[in-house]
Amino acid sequence: MAAASDAQVEQQVHKFRDEFAALRAEIGKMIVGHGDIVDGVLVCLFAGGHALLEGVPGLGKTLLIRTLAQALSLDFNRIQFTPDLMPADIIGTNIINEDPHTGRRAFEFQPGPLFAQMVLADEINRATPKTQSALLEAMQEHSVTSGGVHHQLKEPFFVMATQNPIEQEGTYPLPEAQLDRFFFKLVVGYSDRKELHAILERTTTTEKPRIRPVLTGEQILAAQALVRRVVIAPHVQDYVIRLILATHPAGAFATEMVNKYIRWGSSPRGAQAVTLASKIYAMLDGRYNVGFDDAKKAALPGLRHRLLLNFEGEAEGMTTDQVLYDILERVPLQAEPAA
pLDDT in tens, 205-228: 777 778 888 888 899 999 999 999
DSSP notation for 99-114: -TTT--EEEEEEE-TT
Q: Indicate the range of 22-36, 42-56, 237-251, 322-336 predicted with least confidence.
A: 22-36
Greatest mean pLDDT range, 19-33, 116-130, 241-255: 241-255
At residue 322, the pLDDT reads 96
* Mean pLDDT of the 237-245 span: 96
Q: Is residue 96 part of a domain?
A: no
Q: Any idea what DSSP says for residue 284?
A: H
Above 60 in pLDDT, residue 3? Answer: no
Which CATH number is 63's domain given? 3.40.50.300
Query: What range does the domain containing 130 cover?
Result: 18-86+117-143+150-205+212-229
Categorize the per-residue pLDDT at 251 as very low, low, confident or very high, splitting at 50, 70 and 90. Answer: confident
CB 278 within 8 A of CB 232: yes
Helix (H, G, I), strand (E, B) or coil at 174: coil
The C-alpha atoms of residue 326 and residue 323 are separated, in whole angstroms, by: 5
The C-alpha atoms of residue 198 and residue 200 are separated, in whole angstroms, by: 5
Q: What pTM does this model have?
A: 0.88
Whether residues 63 and 156 share a domain: the answer is: yes
Q: Is residue 103 part of a domain?
A: no
The C-alpha atoms of residue 264 and residue 320 are separated, in whole angstroms, by: 11
Q: Is residue 12 part of a domain?
A: no
The C-alpha atoms of residue 111 and residue 153 are separated, in whole angstroms, by: 10
* Cα Rg, the chain, nearest whole Å: 22
* Mean pLDDT of the 36-46 span: 92
At residue 223, the pLDDT reads 92
At residue 66, the pLDDT reads 81
Q: Is residue 3 part of a domain?
A: no
Whether residues 290 and 182 share a domain: the answer is: no
Whether residues 187 and 291 share a domain: the answer is: no
* Mean pLDDT of the 179-190 span: 88
* Mean pLDDT of the 96-119 span: 80
Above 60 in pLDDT, residue 5? Answer: yes
Average pLDDT value for the chain: 86
Domain tally, the chain: 2
Residue with the larger pLDDT of the pair 17 and 169: 17
Cis ω for the linkage preceding 234 (within 30 of 0): no
Q: Which of 140, 141, 151, 142 is nearest to 109 (CA)?
A: 151
CB 318 within 8 A of CB 84: no
CB 297 within 8 A of CB 278: yes
Categorize the per-residue pLDDT at 47 as very low, low, confident or very high, splitting at 50, 70 and 90. Answer: very high
Whether residues 262 and 238 share a domain: the answer is: yes
Above 80 in pLDDT, residue 124? Answer: yes
* Mean pLDDT of the 273-302 span: 95
